[in-house]
Every structure is written in structure tokens, then in C-alpha cells.
Amino acid sequence: MAGSTDLADADPRGDHTDPGSRQAFTITSRPGPSHADPSGSDGGVRGSDADTDPGRRPAAGARIGPRVLLALVALVRNPGLAGSILVIGVVLAWAVVPGWFSHQNPLQGVTAQRLQAPSSRHLFGTDHLGRDLYARMVHGAALSLEATVVAVLVAVLAGAVVGTVAGYLQGWIDTALMRVMDVLLAIPGLLLALAVVSAIGFGVIHVAIAVGVVSVASYARVMRAQVLVVREVGYVEAARGGGARGARILLTHVIPNAAGPLLALAALDVGTVLLTVSALSFLGFGAEPPTPEWGALVASGEPYLYAAWWLTTFPGLTVAAVVLSTNRIARALETDSHH
Amino acid sequence: MSRPVRRRPRTGAALAAVVTAAVVVLAACSSGHARSQSVGGSAAGPSRQGGTLRYALFYSPTCLDPQQAGEGPDLGVVESLTAQNPNTGAVVASLAASWEVRGDATSFTFHLRPNVTFSDGSALTSTVVAQNLNAIRRLGATASHAGAYLAALTSVDTPDPRTVTITFNRPNAQFLQATATPALAIESAASLARPAGERCAGKIVGTGPFVVDSYTPNQQIVIKRRAGYAWAPSSAGHQGPARLDQVRIAIVTNETTRTGSLLSHQFDVISNVTPQDEPRVRAGGFSVLSRTDPGVVLSLWPNEKRPTLANRDIRVAISRAIDRQDIIATLYTPQYKPATSVLSSTTPGYTDLGRDLARDPASARALLDAAGWKPGPDGIRVRGGQRLTLDVIFGLPRSLELIQQQLHAVGVDLRLRQLSISELQAQFAAGNYDFFLGNSARADPDVLRTLFAGFTITGASADPLTAALNGQAASVDTAVRNRDAAIAQRLLVTDAHDIPITELAEVVAASDKVHDLRFNANASLNFYDAWLS
């Protein structure tokens, strides 16, 4: 696996000031080096490591050739991960340049060609209005992925703020914030998201915000735990001793070093979030017709479950494949960080 | 009793009901004409008594009391003064054995049938009928359908226990048909004394062949046969008590589930079979029967208070851009019919305007060009920097995506705004829309007057139209009523005050065990004659 090759040339516990795990988002073959450990249980050890090295960066780039080679070898040895990366790559490409993948109009159908089974002309078949389902899948990718990213960003940012405030200030603010988070955790996620989206209105971005808000609690908890650990370690105390003020310590020392597990959690969460966004879209809270969106495509195919199996099968399989792939990749990042 | 499609929206207070009704109807919007009135029948041999019919209803009724605004299935619990023959549209005797109508249609005298009792044992008298009419008027906005029929009521007189005279302060020709509707059903005095909410929850007592046994909202309605029932209207298939012991009406809103449950014999009859499931149901050996809803067809109602749609040419262009045949061919089965007038073909007074509703994209484009809307870079027309974007509000979106495609072809951008029922009502009342997708079912041309006279719905005004609508309301002569109704339909279509789309229908599927299942004139399913072999 790619991760193990990294270990040869980079101290996995190096570079605590660089939130390297952000690379999890870009999903390259080189996973983030160090912080993909959501448990954070070894924070103390990490702290002692980190004491000595804020600011140190590995000499990346010097050995890029062998690294890529090693990564490729690792991928060949792990077809599951390679397949997952391929799936995500293709779907990202759909989102960025849909025109390269489908030349058919996703919005205007030819009614004479309605409900046609998959064929070489219509790869995924056509829907009840004669629109090419593959074209709608390709053009729907951008919206579905955008919603997922927005939801994760909302969750991570809001969770980071809440967790940092709670963990750094402590006292009654900590108690109050974390009890609110406990309440959020007590309500089933999809139900709460439904309530939120009902309150703020329909639309894909609203759905994304709702899903993000619902996921805040777990991020806040992880962030708080990290902040509690990091604020006690030597280099933070050193900075404080050196005269740095609260905000500066927080921004330059505490947050960067506590953010790693949060980002690892985000990587793991992408799949779940995509599933929740699609579910809400399926329930009709998402895209306005005729805009294609994966969850909405499943919903519009549902009445034709018997007459046209492809209308639900292909969007469903695509969502499933993307969710499984993101999970596989996130797991690779996680095991990587354990090595 | 009513099904969701049976809405008779009135202006003003009834707007909310219009919206609600229209939302529900769209769910039922599968269609088909009166191809068959019943399944089974004499060919299956003599009818058999007894048994429980299991029926899957596609929506959850908001209220079981037909006098109130709520939609509900025909439970056969209450009956009205008259009944309407579903085949001929003729008004026939029911609780009233006979009646007289004054020549100017302002006064109606009903002679009640003797020896009729409510299921609580009390007798049907003229006093109870008068109490019912007064109670309906007291319901106010809640009884929007019924209230519209009684709008000009001045007095209800009961000269003897079996005679009721109802007088209006202006001609009200539609009233006779109105007495056949469930909205003017007659309930017992004890039933009327209950709070409206309790009656909605199924505590209704009538004279009908069934009584409510139990009702669990959103789940199930059970009705049981009433022994001793002996006053079925002549339009019914038999006399005496109902043949079924019991009807279990389960509420199954998911169409795929309904079809699957029918095919696996968990139900004997299901409502609202979707066009895409129809072939499966037929292939499984089940019979499909359908009846076109009477009244105003599924239509786009333009908001003529909006400047763009105040222009007749724009409305006409949009009507001509719609390919009604393509909608039927794409989304329905061949037995379904496109709209050929504002009224559906099963409505008394219907006139065929199919030629005016033919697709003509070239003339649509010419009209839009002449109005100054020129095609923009993305194909959507623009004028003075403004795009020709119009929105439509609706509850359930049948066929709208296709209309959206068709309008796009002539450069009109149609935005679909699907709303919840409460939001739909609010947006409609606030006039915050360009088009409203709706229909209004009633087996009388007066439905046009309740919708379009005064144009509370759309905000337009047209004197010849108002004259024609009032004309059909003022005469008891069918020929005069039909003539005026035809004039009104023509004016509504040529000026596109209403853009008709498709005729809606009730389509049900039944197993071969079920016989003599019929539709009422309002296209609701009637269990009275049905029996199981």
C-alpha cells in the first residue's frame, strides 16, 4: 500500500505543524503522512515527539521518482485500493469535465426513446422522458460531490470551532457546548437532517448544510480531545513561556497540531455524508427538476422499479461504489498512519 | 363520498381547499376513459353474499366526513338526497323519492322516501335534512365544497315531515346535481351534534349500506355491512343490503408497494395503478378498470396578475407549445386521453375543442417573437435583459418535467416549484406564482363558474365569459345550459385563461375474485354492489 512506502522517507510523526492529512481530500496516491489516527490515543507520545519539531518539514520532492514507483507497485499489490482510487478519479472527472464523458443532453430527452434498456447507444438506458441516464449521472456528479464536500466542510469547520473553544477555554463554556453536542448525538442523524432541511428550505446546498450541521458533534468531540492533549504539551507551554498570547498559541500551535485526527475522521466520513445527502435528495429535498442529482435520480426511477430496473440500479450502484471507495481509501490512510 | 379528485373549489374561503384538493389529485392523476364500468358481473353467475374485500387506498384521507372539506374514499356510510347515474349523468332518486324545481331555478322541493332510517336507529325526516343544510352552512370555510353549492341559500322550509323546500335568492341550476354529491350528504341529528373533528375521525352516522367499524388514521379504515338497508338508488346494481360483510381499506401510499401487494394477493383491489405498472397488473391476470374524472381537467392556471401572463399572446403561445398527445404517449397508456377542452369528456356540457388545443410550436414562436421575446444565447427568450422564466407551483409533479421540455423547445424556461400542501396554500393565496397546476372535479358544468366567474383564481376578468357562466347557472333547460357552457369553454381555451393538459382518471386494479365493482358519477369507487367469488 502506498502508505507503507512513505514510511521509508518521511518520519510519520514529523511535521506536526503541517496539517498534512488534508491530502486525504485530494485523494492522491500519497496519503497524508502522519495524523490519520482518529483515536488520538497516543497523543502523549506524539506530544513528546512533537516537542522538538514544530516547523520541521520533510525534504519532499527530492526522491519523487522512486516514491511514485513504489506507490504504483503498492497499488498493483492492492487492487481493491487501486479500484477505489480509479472510481473516485473517474467520478471526480465527471464532475469537473462532464462534456468529455457524455455528449448527450442530460436535460432534454427524446420521448420516442423513453425507457430504453442499456445499450451501446445509451450506456445506462434512458428514463421515462427519453433522457440518457448515463449523461444524467455524469452531469449529476458535480452537484452530488459538491454537496458532499460542502457538508463535510461545514461539519469539520463548525466542529473544529466548537471543539477548540470547548477544549481551550474549558470551564462552563466547555460543559455547555459539549452538552449541546451530546444532544445532537442523541438524535438520529437522518431525522435531524430532515428537520433542519425542512426549516431552512429545499435545495441541494441546503441539504448539504443540514447534513453538515448534523455531523458537527463527532468532530467537536474529537477536536476537543485533541486540544485538551495538545494544550498541555511542552512546545505549547514553551510558547506560552516565551510570551505568546492565547490567540496566537491557539492558531499557530494548538489548532494545527490537533487538526490531524479531525481530517482523518473527515476522510472516513465522506462516504457516509454522500449517502445521507443522497438519501435526502431521494426523499425530494434536493435538486429541483430537471437538474440531475444522484439521489434524485434513484427517486425518479423508483416508480419504474419493475418496468425499468436500470433507472434505480445504475445511480444506486454508482453511489454505493463511491461510498465504498471513499471508505476504502480512508481506511488505507488510517492503517498507513498506524505503521 | 368523495375521493381526492373531487374538488369543487370556490373562490375566497375555498381557495385552501382548492389547493389541497389539487395536490392530492395529482397523485391520482393516472387516467383513462370510461372504458368499463364494472368488473365481473352476471357472467360470473349469481352474486355471493359475505366476505371481506381488502382494498389498498393510495392516499391518507384528511377527513372521513364528506360534508367537510376533506377528501375521502366513498365509504357508503352516508347518502345524499339524490344520486347521479354514472353512465348517463342523470340525477336519480335516492333519499328523496321525487322533487320539483321552479322554472327559474331558484326553488327546489324534495319529497323524502318513507321508512328510511339512520344506522343509529333515528328516522330520516325533513327536519333532519334542514338541520344538515344549516349545519353545513355553519361549517363555513371547512365545508368549502358544500358551501359553494349553498352560497345563495335564503331559506329551508319543512312544510311536513317528508317535504323540504330549499330557496335561493338567485338562479342556481347546479343545485340539483349538487344534492347528488357527498358534500351534501345527510347525516343523523346525533352525528351532526358531534364536533367537526370527531366526525372527521370517522364518527359519522348516515343512512348508507355500510357503517364505519374502525378507523386508524394513516393506516386503515374498516367498514361493515348494515343489515336492513333497503333504499338503494335506481342507479345501483341491486337492492337490499350490501353483498360484502366488510371492506378493509388499507392506506398504502407507495405505488410500487401497492402493485406488489396486489400481485402477491395481499389485496383484492388497489387504487391508482400507475401507467408503468399497468402492463404488469394485466399480465398477472388482474383486471384494470378506470373512469375519467368529471370536471375541469388537469390544467395550468396562469396568474394573470403577473405582467407577463396578463398578455393573452404569451398564454396562448404556451398552450400551443404543449404537445398533449406526446404527454399521453410518453407518460400514460394508450387508453388515456389528452385534454380536448377545459372540461373532461365525461362532464355534462362538455364540448370538443381538440383542434384549438393542438400543438403548434411555429405559431407559439411567432406569438412570442411578436411580443418582443427574442431567443437568447442559451435558447431561452429574453426581452429587455429579462429571461422568459415562469414558475409553476404544485404538489405532485406528474407530466410537468415533460411540459418543461416542450416549453424549452420554444424558448420558455419553466421552473418547477414542488411545495408541501401548507406551503402551496400559502404561496397560492399570496399570488406568488406564475402557474398553478390543478384540476377541479365535478360532474356539472357549473364547476367552471365556481372556478372562473370573477376570476378569483387567476386575476383576469372577461365579461362575455362571466355572462356565459352565469347563463348556464340560471337555466334548468339542459340545452341552454350546455350552449352557455360551450361558449364558456371556448372563451377559456381561446384566451388561455386555463391551459388544459390531460384528463385525469381513477384507475383501479382488481383480482378475478371481485365482481360488480363500480364507479360513482364522481369517479369514486363504490363497494355497494361488489361481491367476492
Beta bridge partners of B422: none
B178 and B56 within one domain: yes
Residue B162 included in any domain: yes
- 3-state class of B138 per DSSP? helix
Range of the domain at B196: 31-292+506-532
Instruction: State the pLDDT at residue A284.
Output: 84
Q: Which long-range contacts (CB under 8 A, 24 or more apart) does A207-210 make?
A: A207/A147, A207/A151, A207/A277, A207/A280, A207/A281, A207/A285, A207/A286, A208/A146, A208/A147, A208/A148, A208/A150, A208/A151, A208/A154, A208/A277, A209/A150, A209/A151, A209/A154, A210/A280
Residue B168 included in any domain: yes
CA distance B448 to chain A (A): 31
B90 and B194 within one domain: yes
Amino acid at A305: L
The string of DSSP letters for B456-470 reads TTT----HHHHHHHH
CA distance B401 to chain A (A): 7
Instruction: Evaluate if pTM is beyond 0.80.
Output: no
B154 and B90 within one domain: yes
Instruction: State the pLDDT at residue A240.
Output: 83
Instruction: State the pLDDT at residue A49.
Output: 41
Mean pLDDT of chain B: 86
Residue B513 included in any domain: yes
Instruction: State the pLDDT at residue A262.
Output: 87
Instruction: State the pLDDT at residue A76.
Output: 81
Residues in chain A: 339
CA distance A127 to chain B (A): 11
Q: Is the pLDDT at B124 greater than 70, yes or no?
A: yes
Q: Is the pLDDT at B494 greater than 80, yes or no?
A: yes
Partner-chain contact A303 B330, CB within 8 Å: no
Percent of chain B with pLDDT over 70: 89
Instruction: State the pLDDT at residue B72.
Output: 77
Q: What is the pLDDT of residues B170-204, one digit of tens each?
A: 889 899 999 999 999 999 999 999 999 999 999 99
Which among B405, B407, B410 is the top mutation candidate for probing chain A, defined by the most A β-carbons within 10 Å of its own β-carbon? B405
Residue B16 included in any domain: no
More confidently predicted of A69 and A270? A270
Distance CA B496, CA B487 (A): 14
Q: Is the pLDDT at A306 greater than 90, yes or no?
A: no
CATH number for the domain harbouring residue B85: 3.40.190.10
CA distance B400 to chain A (A): 9
- pLDDT band with cut points at 50, 70 and 90 for residue A310: very high
B461 and B358 within one domain: yes
Instruction: State the pLDDT at residue A29.
Output: 37
B497 and B512 within one domain: no
Instruction: State the pLDDT at residue A153.
Output: 95
Instruction: State the pLDDT at residue B399.
Output: 82
Residues from chain A contacting residue B400 (CB–CB below 8 Å): 289
B380 and B259 within one domain: no
Most confident of A23-32, A154-163, A241-250: A154-163
The string of DSSP letters for B496-529 reads TSSEEEE--EEEEEE-TTEE--EE-TTS-EE-SS
CA B47 from chain centre, in angstroms, equals 31
B191 and B144 within one domain: yes
Among candidate residues A192, A182, A92, A80, the one with its CA nearest the CA of residue A144? A92
CA distance B364 to chain A (A): 19
For B295-330, the three-class secondary structure string (H helix, E strand, C coil) is CEEEEEEECCCCHHHHCHHHHHHHHHHCCHHHHHHH
CA B234 from chain centre, in angstroms, equals 23
Q: What is the pLDDT of residues A91-118, one digit of tens each?
A: 999 999 999 998 888 988 888 888 899 9
Span B55-69, mean pLDDT?
89
Q: Is the pLDDT at A200 greater than 90, yes or no?
A: no
Q: What is the pLDDT of residues B399-423, one digit of tens each?
A: 899 999 999 999 999 999 888 777 8
Instruction: State the pLDDT at residue B301.
Output: 93
Mean pLDDT of chain A: 80
Total domain count for chain A? Answer: 1
B278 and B370 within one domain: no
Instruction: State the pLDDT at residue B205.
Output: 95
B515 and B473 within one domain: no
Distance CA B111, CA B109 (A): 7
Instruction: State the pLDDT at residue B511.
Output: 95
Instruction: State the pLDDT at residue B7.
Output: 32
Instruction: State the pLDDT at residue A339.
Output: 54
More confidently predicted of B147 and B484? B484
Span A191-204, mean pLDDT?
88
Q: Look at B45-59, B196-210, B452-466, B476-490 and tell me which has the smallest mean pLDDT.
A: B452-466
Instruction: State the pLDDT at residue B121.
Output: 94
Span A299-308, mean pLDDT?
87
Q: Is the pLDDT at B517 greater than 60, yes or no?
A: yes
- pLDDT band with cut points at 50, 70 and 90 for residue A246: confident
- pLDDT band with cut points at 50, 70 and 90 for residue B224: very high
Span B21-30, mean pLDDT?
36
Percent of chain A with pLDDT over 70: 80
- Could you tell me if B342 and B493 are in contact, meaning their C-beta atoms sit under 8 angstroms apart? yes
Partner-chain contact B405 A302, CB within 8 Å: no
Joined together, the cell numbers standing for residue A63 give: 526522491
B287 and B365 within one domain: no
Total domain count for chain B? Answer: 2
Residues from chain A contacting residue B416 (CB–CB below 8 Å): 288-290
Percent of chain B with pLDDT over 90: 61
Chains A and B form CB pairs within 8 A to the count of: 53
Q: Is A13 on the interface with B (CB under 8 A)?
A: no
CATH number for the domain harbouring residue A273: 1.10.3720.10
Joined together, the cell numbers standing for residue B338 give: 389528452
**Chain A residue at shortest CA distance from B406:** A108
Q: Is the pLDDT at A252 greater than 70, yes or no?
A: yes
Range of the domain at A181: 2-338
Partner-chain contact B400 A128, CB within 8 Å: no
Instruction: State the pLDDT at residue B260.
Output: 93
Among candidate residues A115, A145, A149, A75, the one with its CA nearest the CA of residue A310? A115
**Chain A residue at shortest CA distance from B330:** A111
Which among B255, B263, B264, B330 is the top mutation candidate for probing chain A, defined by the most A β-carbons within 10 Å of its own β-carbon? B330
Q: What is the CA radius of gyration of chain B?
A: 23
B393 and B511 within one domain: no
- pLDDT band with cut points at 50, 70 and 90 for residue A233: confident
Residues 6+ apart with CB under 8 A from A272: A323
Q: Is the pLDDT at B244 greater than 80, yes or no?
A: yes
Partner-chain contact A306 B276, CB within 8 Å: yes
Instruction: State the pLDDT at residue A59.
Output: 46
Q: Which long-range contacts (CB under 8 A, 24 or more apart) does B479-483 make?
A: B481/B173, B481/B349, B481/B445, B482/B348, B482/B349, B482/B351, B482/B445
Going along B124-264, which residue ranges are E strands? 153-160, 163-168, 210-216, 220-225, 246-251
- pLDDT band with cut points at 50, 70 and 90 for residue B62: confident
Residues from chain A contacting residue B401 (CB–CB below 8 Å): 129, 289-290
- pLDDT band with cut points at 50, 70 and 90 for residue B225: very high
- pLDDT band with cut points at 50, 70 and 90 for residue B20: very low
Q: What is the ipTM of this complex?
A: 0.73
Partner-chain contact B405 A108, CB within 8 Å: yes
Partner-chain contact A111 B330, CB within 8 Å: yes
Span B492-515, mean pLDDT?
93
CATH number for the domain harbouring residue B344: 3.10.105.10
Q: Look at B85-89, B260-264, B430-434 and tell me which has the smallest mean pLDDT.
A: B85-89
B331 and B266 within one domain: no
Q: What is the pLDDT of residues B259-283, one digit of tens each?
A: 999 999 999 999 999 888 898 999 9
Instruction: State the pLDDT at residue B54.
Output: 97
